[in-house]
Structure 1
């Protein structure tokens, strides 16, 4: 789709603003959404390949088939585009809405945690969200100035939900030290697999990729056994502290 003419005119006229969405024809608004979504998808691939610093808005727009001014129109700047890419990448790995829906089901907390871990293992090991994983890996290894936005908009809200879930498994409040440790223990293996290059996994630990479903099952067993041990120890400690008050 050609870039909206109204905005190109506005760039040359200080006192003229782009038309509001309410004033735009319905088909134009729908086309705008499609253009924005396409820019985000293409930008994700470009940032995954080149990184935040080396990626260029020109390449993104050329591959997306849109005007260079589209980035400023839809995202405000290259930084705004990259922030949107980071948030979208995290959403593709762990969707907050899906996570909220899962935690609202009647399944017990242990089954919910296993479902979250299994989904993450499958995505990580099979590369079903390849550019999203690569973007997040780059950001973890070499944080950009937009890293705080990723933590604020995506990671922190997810962590609150997951802390609540792990707290339910442990039978402890979500702010308890054992809950935060348990959460890090549960998800650290997936983080390691994300950061480690696929070639490294294949050469050093080749069995990992042979049976991804089995890997997910074993991680669930390992995690639940560890959480059970934490619950036993810290539940006993809490009981002793209560008795000594």
Structure 2
């Protein structure tokens, strides 16, 4: 007589993980305001009380989902991309741009990651403050730190303009994807992302070198 194989009990961490993934999908599809805890738990195969147990409430769950998506992207494509600590500022800037593009354009990530972030930026909730302070600001300060090394103190007042321009060049390809697909069919992936990273890097480096050469003086 064969003994029935017992299924090991599911851990609390497994349930929490399923809730994060399910919530990410529902929030991305419907937005924070229209999503319901009942639907999230149903999709996760969890008891309806599971959200309160693991996260406290829907608001806190939403914040954790945003942080989770951002953290997963950083784990897969960290800003330094494996560069040594002695790498030059220019090398670190190129690595930052490349990793940023992969984080927002990589087709290997769950589709809800990008959709959720775009939703949050287009229609911000109270969660955005927490996301910026705890997740986005540290990455942004990494970028401004690299730029500061390159342009020097004389041009430091322009540092955030340069950082915002670099970020803007990258996110354009994510936010304007539907238009770009119609203008020039073909998604950015693999070698195309590499070419795009090289283009944005060279374009940005030219401006940074000129600023350093001018010592922060405005050109007419």
TM-score of Structure 1 vs Structure 2, range by shorter chain: 0.7 to 0.9
Match of 2:72 in 1: 92
Q: How does 1:25-36 map to 2 (within 5 A)?
A: 31-36=11-16
Q: Distance in 1 between matches of 2:55 and 2:80?
A: 27
Aligned pair 1:63/2:43, yes or no? yes
Match of 1:3 in 2: none
Q: Distance in 2 between matches of 1:216 and 1:207?
A: 17
Q: How many residues align?
A: 208
Match of 1:12 in 2: none
Contact kept in structure 1, 2:79 and 2:95, CA below 8 Å: no
Q: Distance in 2 between matches of 1:230 and 1:208?
A: 34
Residues 88 and 78 (structure 1), Cα distance of their counterparts in 2 relative to 1, 3 Å cut: same
Alignment RMSD: 2.8
1:153 to 134, 137, 147: 134
Match of 1:39 in 2: 19
Deviates more, 1:139-148 or 1:94-103: 94-103
Residues 168 and 102 (structure 1), Cα distance of their counterparts in 2 relative to 1, 3 Å cut: farther
Deviations, residues 166-195 of structure 1 (Å, cap 9, x unaligned): 21222338x922111111111111222222
Higher relative contact order (CA 8 A, sep 6+): 2
Q: CA deviation at 1:97?
A: 10
Structure 1: unaligned runs, 5 residues or longer? 1-26, 239-245
Match of 1:212 in 2: 193
Q: What's the TM-score once normalised by structure 2's chain length?
A: 0.82
Deviations, residues 72-94 of structure 1 (Å, cap 9, x unaligned): 11111000000001112222334
Match of 1:171 in 2: 152
Structure 2: unaligned runs, 5 residues or longer? 1-7
Q: CA deviation at 1:100?
A: 7.1
Contact kept in structure 1, 2:101 and 2:193, CA below 8 Å: yes
Aligned pair 1:202/2:181, yes or no? yes
Contact kept in structure 1, 2:81 and 2:95, CA below 8 Å: no
Contact kept in structure 2, 1:83 and 1:149, CA below 8 Å: yes
Q: Distance in 1 between matches of 2:180 and 2:41?
A: 35
Match of 2:98 in 1: 118
Q: What's the TM-score once normalised by structure 1's chain length?
A: 0.75
Aligned pair 1:134/2:115, yes or no? yes
Q: Distance in 1 between matches of 2:164 and 2:172?
A: 12
Q: Distance in 1 between matches of 2:104 and 2:184?
A: 15
Contact kept in structure 1, 2:37 and 2:48, CA below 8 Å: yes
Residues 96 and 180 (structure 1), Cα distance of their counterparts in 2 relative to 1, 3 Å cut: farther
Whose radius of gyration is greater, 1 or 2?
A: 1
- Runs of 4 or more, structure 1, over 4 Å off, are 100-104
